[in-house]
């Protein structure tokens, strides 16, 4: 059986791991958004949230739940896919 001290240490370790995973997810979201030239305004609108709220999530000032992260990644993927498809259609027409 764990002691209270061991349980506290385990809990602190789990909290650090969760925080690190959240930070990695935020960085990946922001990097992907910027690499694909997607504005905060566009992504926020598609995801049904305000620009300031999304901006604060990217900076780690707001909680980024797994559900919200899934929604943002889904919308970002649609935007990027649509742009890629449109680019191919235009290039084929030229």
Q: Is 39 helix (H, G, I), strand (E, B) or coil?
A: coil
Instruction: Find the domain containing 28 and state its range.
Output: 4-93
Q: What is the pLDDT of residues 42-76, one digit of tens each?
A: 999 999 999 999 999 999 899 888 899 899 989 99
Contact in structure between 79 and 46 (CB atoms under 8 Å): yes
- What's 88's domain CATH number? 1.10.260.40
- Give me the pLDDT at residue 51, please: 97
Q: Domain total for the chain?
A: 1
- Does pTM top 0.75 for this prediction? no
Closest CA to 76 of 56, 61, 58, 94: 58
Average pLDDT of the chain?
Answer: 85
């Amino acid at each position: 059986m764990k002691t209270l001290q061991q349980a506290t240490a385990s809990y602190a370790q789990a909290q650090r791991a969760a925080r690190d995973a959240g930070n990695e997810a935020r960085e990946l979201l922001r990097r992907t958004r910027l690499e694909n030239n997607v504005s905060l305004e566009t992504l926020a609108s598609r995801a049904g949230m305000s620009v300031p709220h999304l901006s604060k999530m990217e900076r780690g000032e707001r909680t980024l739940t797994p559900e919200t992260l899934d929604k943002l990644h889904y919308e970002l993927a649609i935007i990027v896919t649509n742009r890629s498809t449109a680019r191919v259609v235009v290039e084929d027409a030229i």
